[in-house]
A and B are shown apart, each in its own frame.
Chain A
């Protein structure tokens, strides 16, 4: 087994507020990688912009830190061009469910074998405290002065409705559970969503560490292959369930469906042009 140290990055220090839930997620990731015996060279973290999207900066793995909301398209392409890599797209609720909402829907349809980690703190951190797509109705901010007047997105129910092949939710305060679910998500052959509850200690005074502890529970005796039951659990409001809601290992991945990997296994870099066929084509025209 690898050590979590192998994934610690010494060059720069996290820019998060002291006590931020992101520290726990960072730790959980390092532990998950180590327990899965991955090497830093095998892992590509793809992120957008936001406090959560900075996480790859603090890890000793490959990094593609792109645009706000746009982590999923490059993550899909990277995995498609090199299926050997372990590809993880990571960002916050604004990044992934707001700015990048359309990619969320269509990535589920494609089902690439990538892990999708969404830090969900129900508020905007980097832009300082505005509502996020998951903020609760009535949540007051400097911008939403009368409280949020739109209903929050339910990413779990949404993903299940689109038949995402792995849908889970964790609370970073329970680190063992978080590590366990992230590991399962990485191992899952196909698109895996892990919505990660995370308190924002600076801008969200409602959904605090204590609030998440009181308002969540871990799913027990749940048949994770039953999509209808998964949907019912996903729409519970009183107390929010944690764990794997739904999993379908039978779905083919995007990469498996691509013809380019069926006909040859060579990495894209080392493939040659089919010169004979091109000559033939140019003769036929």
Chain B
């Protein structure tokens, strides 16, 4: 691991890592602990990294608990709970002399100092080995000063909701035993109480929401009026499909598991044609199969929302890990020339809002709109403020047709011919994959061809005008400008906070295509530009260079399948500012 700047590590947060095999129940611990801590008044952040397997292997979850909002992963581990023999080895590069390890000493076979808690033995005393998870939850709540009453109540509701009422009593026993273990460790002075008691609780945090990126995209789609989703399961995009399926009854959504991604996208287009608001969710490999369908959307001038959750490729790559490697895929996919918009949520709140925006623009301009996320976004959550439900009815860009209706009417200034749907008015709705005339009939008339190409691509003009302006954080009179897009926003923000330099700022893009023309002004003002991306070739900085003509001198790139860590990144930026490191 890279050297971490110790002096700038904030003391107000505790970084906990739980590590063990798939199937050992780390997810349960993460879910319960974060929710109970939030209800106790803390800010929490959780993200996970896991192997592409259902049982075994080494998976870990990082939970940061803080008095202030925390929204990024860090390399530092303050407290490690290893649940199997491999766990310590799995995270060893992130351990240092300050890391406290609590576990079943006998079962870990390590020469590192381990504070012993006999999770398994206690669990067996209660009744089942699986209770070890809840004992760990109790232990951590005890150390962090979580509210025991709140915890018990939450646990009870959690198991009732899962229809596992008969397990409530034993789980509460396990929780209490864990809590008592924490008190024992403090009493025996094995853990200095101050180490964990410096956190302050706040009522604000209590009322926050805890929402993962996958939930935010799914709920954003619902808020955007989505009522049709057809997709083929593929990590890490499946969470959105299951969320919409789970709420299909509540929101009257058709959620269909298609036989392949080709079918999925073609169904989506059929649904829009018939008046629904459809989306597909997929990852790189699945999207590759959708590219002909994307091109069809371009030709039909059909709206479509595509959620593309990136994972490292090529081919199957690392199925459960993260990367920002498919920007160029989304950008260049599909034969022929037609307009598209690519949105890349900066954070959870953004994922909710931008997904709504995607439906709006898709419908308004009759174009495909991408929501480009990644595994990191899908599997991450932290306290967020209330999300608002859109007021009023969803705006639909559909007209009631007359008998002389022409689907591809050329007499429109903005390239957008009013869209009709079958059975709403007298008109016949003809959409055509072949080049077509105003009626939608196949044609090889070169003059019409020329005018249709121009009509479709006129939309670019308006899309560029409406493009979301990138957000600037940090010094307004910056010398150094970091440039980023998508899911890295909060991580870079924390990294720059840690550096605390007055001459540096971050320009972050939540819309990566087309980019706002104002972007050039920001780039021109910088003496040095550093692009930071979770990929190998700096795909976004290449795009920016093409679009603005401004060369981006330095790149910080990470492509090992993991997100950036805020503390490591701070070090890397610092090195560059001192003239060391970075890819030129």
Assess whether A65 is in contact with B422, with CB atoms less than 8 Å apart: no
Q: B209 contacts the other chain (Cβ, under 8 Å)?
A: yes
Determine which residue in B273, B387, B431, B441 has the highest number of CB atoms from chain A within 10 A of its CB, and name it.
B273
Determine which residue in B264, B275, B426 has the highest number of CB atoms from chain A within 10 A of its CB, and name it.
B275
Q: B276 contacts the other chain (Cβ, under 8 Å)?
A: yes
Chain B residues with CB under 8 Å of A234's CB are none
Q: Which of A233-273 contact B (CB under 8 A)?
A: 258-260, 263-264, 267-269, 271-273
> Digit string of B199-222 for contact with A (CB within 8 Å is 1, else 0)?
000000000011100010001001
Closest to B253 in A: A260
Q: B247 contacts the other chain (Cβ, under 8 Å)?
A: yes
Assess whether B266 is in contact with A66, with CB atoms less than 8 Å apart: yes
| B270 interface neighbour in A49, A78, A278, Cβ under 8 Å | A78
> Digit string of A66-98 for contact with B (CB within 8 Å is 1, else 0)?
110010111111101110110000000000000
Q: Which of B391-425 contact A (CB under 8 A)?
A: 393-394, 396, 398, 421-424
Assess whether B275 is in contact with A260, with CB atoms less than 8 Å apart: no
Determine which residue in A42, A70, A76 has the highest number of CB atoms from chain B within 10 A of its CB, and name it.
A70
Nearest chain B CB to A208 CB, angstrom units: 28
Chain A residues with CB under 8 Å of B259's CB are 102-103, 105-106
Assess whether A74 is in contact with B394, with CB atoms less than 8 Å apart: no
Chain B residues with CB under 8 Å of A279's CB are 389
Q: A54 contacts the other chain (Cβ, under 8 Å)?
A: yes
Assess whether B433 is in contact with A65, with CB atoms less than 8 Å apart: yes
Stretch touching chain B among A17-25, A55-63, A151-159, A213-221:
A55-63
Assess whether A81 is in contact with B296, with CB atoms less than 8 Å apart: no
Q: A131 contacts the other chain (Cβ, under 8 Å)?
A: no
Q: A281 contacts the other chain (Cβ, under 8 Å)?
A: yes
Closest to B271 in A: A77
Q: B324 contacts the other chain (Cβ, under 8 Å)?
A: no
Nearest chain B CB to A262 CB, angstrom units: 10
Assess whether A73 is in contact with B263, with CB atoms less than 8 Å apart: yes
Determine which residue in B387, B398, B428 has the highest number of CB atoms from chain A within 10 A of its CB, and name it.
B428
Chain A residues with CB under 8 Å of B266's CB are 66-67, 70, 73-74, 77
Task: Please measure, in the bound complex, the distance between the C-alpha atom of A274 and the C-alpha atom of B262, giving whole angstroms.
Answer: 30
Chain B residues with CB under 8 Å of A281's CB are 219, 247, 250
Assess whether A85 is in contact with B219, with CB atoms less than 8 Å apart: no
Q: B439 contacts the other chain (Cβ, under 8 Å)?
A: yes
Known: A73-B263, A105-B259, A282-B386. A78 touches B225 (CB 8 A): no
Assess whether B422 is in contact with A278, with CB atoms less than 8 Å apart: no
Nearest chain A CB to B195 CB, angstrom units: 31
Q: A193 contacts the other chain (Cβ, under 8 Å)?
A: no
| B271 interface neighbour in A11, A61, A78, A102, Cβ under 8 Å | A78
Determine which residue in B223, B393, B422, B426 has the highest number of CB atoms from chain A within 10 A of its CB, and name it.
B422
Task: Please measure, in the bound complex, the distance between the C-alpha atom of A67 and the C-alpha atom of B441, giving whole angstroms.
Answer: 15
Chain A residues with CB under 8 Å of B262's CB are 70, 73, 102-103
Assess whether B389 is in contact with A274, with CB atoms less than 8 Å apart: no
Known: A49-B433, A65-B432, A263-B249. A82 touches B270 (CB 8 A): no
Q: B106 contacts the other chain (Cβ, under 8 Å)?
A: no
Closest to B277 in A: A268
Assess whether A62 is in contact with B428, with CB atoms less than 8 Å apart: yes
Q: Which of A1-37 contact B (CB under 8 A)?
A: 11-12
Task: Please measure, in the bound complex, the distance between the C-alpha atom of A14 and the C-alpha atom of B523, giving whole angstroms.
Answer: 56
Closest to B428 in A: A62
Nearest chain A CB to B18 CB, angstrom units: 22
Closest to B427 in A: A41
Q: B503 contacts the other chain (Cβ, under 8 Å)?
A: no
Nearest chain B CB to A284 CB, angstrom units: 9
Task: Please measure, in the bound complex, the distance between the C-alpha atom of A209 and the C-alpha atom of B457, giving whole angstroms.
Answer: 47
Nearest chain A CB to B422 CB, angstrom units: 5
Nearest chain B CB to A66 CB, angstrom units: 5
Q: B248 contacts the other chain (Cβ, under 8 Å)?
A: yes
Assess whether B275 is in contact with A269, with CB atoms less than 8 Å apart: yes
Task: Please measure, in the bound complex, the distance between the C-alpha atom of A81 and the C-alpha atom of B274, giving whole angstroms.
Answer: 6
Assess whether A269 is in contact with B248, with CB atoms less than 8 Å apart: no
Count residues on chain A whose CB falls below 8 Å from chain B CBs: 54
Q: A210 contacts the other chain (Cβ, under 8 Å)?
A: no
Task: Please measure, in the bound complex, the distance between the C-alpha atom of A46 and the C-alpha atom of B266, giving whole angstroms.
Answer: 11
Nearest chain A CB to B79 CB, angstrom units: 26
Assess whether B270 is in contact with A67, with CB atoms less than 8 Å apart: no
Chain A residues with CB under 8 Å of B260's CB are 102
Assess whether A74 is in contact with B433, with CB atoms less than 8 Å apart: no
Assess whether A81 is in contact with B271, with CB atoms less than 8 Å apart: yes
Chain B residues with CB under 8 Å of A72's CB are 263
Chain B residues with CB under 8 Å of A269's CB are 275, 396, 398, 421, 424
Chain A residues with CB under 8 Å of B454's CB are none
Known: A12-B441, A66-B269, A102-B259. A277 touches B276 (CB 8 A): no
Assess whether B393 is in contact with A75, with CB atoms less than 8 Å apart: no
Task: Please measure, in the bound complex, the distance between the C-alpha atom of A271 and the C-alpha atom of B390, giving whole angstroms.
Answer: 15
Assess whether B432 is in contact with A80, with CB atoms less than 8 Å apart: no
Assess whether B274 is in contact with A268, with CB atoms less than 8 Å apart: yes
Known: A63-B430, A102-B259, A106-B259. A278 touches B251 (CB 8 A): yes
Assess whether A274 is in contact with B251, with CB atoms less than 8 Å apart: yes
Known: A63-B432, A272-B394. A267 touches B275 (CB 8 A): yes
Determine which residue in B215, B227, B259, B390 has the highest number of CB atoms from chain A within 10 A of its CB, and name it.
B259
Chain B residues with CB under 8 Å of A11's CB are 439, 441
Closest to B208 in A: A285
Chain A residues with CB under 8 Å of B247's CB are 277, 281
Known: A63-B432, A73-B266, A73-B270. A277 touches B442 (CB 8 A): no
Assess whether B268 is in contact with A62, with CB atoms less than 8 Å apart: no
Task: Please measure, in the bound complex, the distance between the C-alpha atom of A63 and the C-alpha atom of B421, giving whole angstroms.
Answer: 11
| A62 interface neighbour in B211, B296, B300, B430, Cβ under 8 Å | B430
Q: Which of B426-472 contact A (CB under 8 A)?
A: 426, 428-434, 439-443
Chain B residues with CB under 8 Å of A231's CB are none
Q: Which of B29-81 contact A (CB under 8 A)?
A: none
> Digit string of B360-390 for contact with A (CB within 8 Å is 1, else 0)?
0000000000000000000000000011011
Closest to B230 in A: A77
Nearest chain A CB to B413 CB, angstrom units: 26
Q: A40 contacts the other chain (Cβ, under 8 Å)?
A: yes
| B422 interface neighbour in A60, A62, A67, A271, Cβ under 8 Å | A62
| A258 interface neighbour in B254, B275, B389, Cβ under 8 Å | B254
Q: B504 contacts the other chain (Cβ, under 8 Å)?
A: no
Task: Please measure, in the bound complex, the distance between the C-alpha atom of A159 and the C-alpha atom of B584, giving whole angstroms.
Answer: 60
Chain A residues with CB under 8 Å of B422's CB are 41, 44, 62, 78, 82, 85
Closest to B398 in A: A269
Chain B contact residues, CB within 8 Å of chain A: 209-211, 215, 219, 222-223, 225, 227-228, 230, 247-254, 256, 258-260, 262-264, 266-271, 273-276, 278, 292-293, 296, 300, 386-387, 389-390, 393-394, 396, 398, 421-424, 426, 428-434, 439-443
21 contacts between A and B (CB under 8 A): A12-B443, A63-B429, A63-B440, A65-B432, A65-B434, A66-B269, A66-B296, A70-B266, A74-B270, A77-B276, A81-B271, A81-B276, A102-B262, A103-B259, A106-B258, A106-B259, A272-B393, A273-B225, A278-B222, A279-B389, A281-B219
Closest 9 CB pairs of A and B: A74-B270, A77-B270, A81-B274, A73-B266, A106-B259, A269-B275, A77-B267, A63-B430, A73-B263
Beyond A273-B225, A282-B209, 10 additional pairs, beta carbon < 8 A: A63-B430, A74-B266, A76-B267, A77-B270, A80-B271, A81-B276, A258-B254, A278-B223, A282-B219, A285-B211
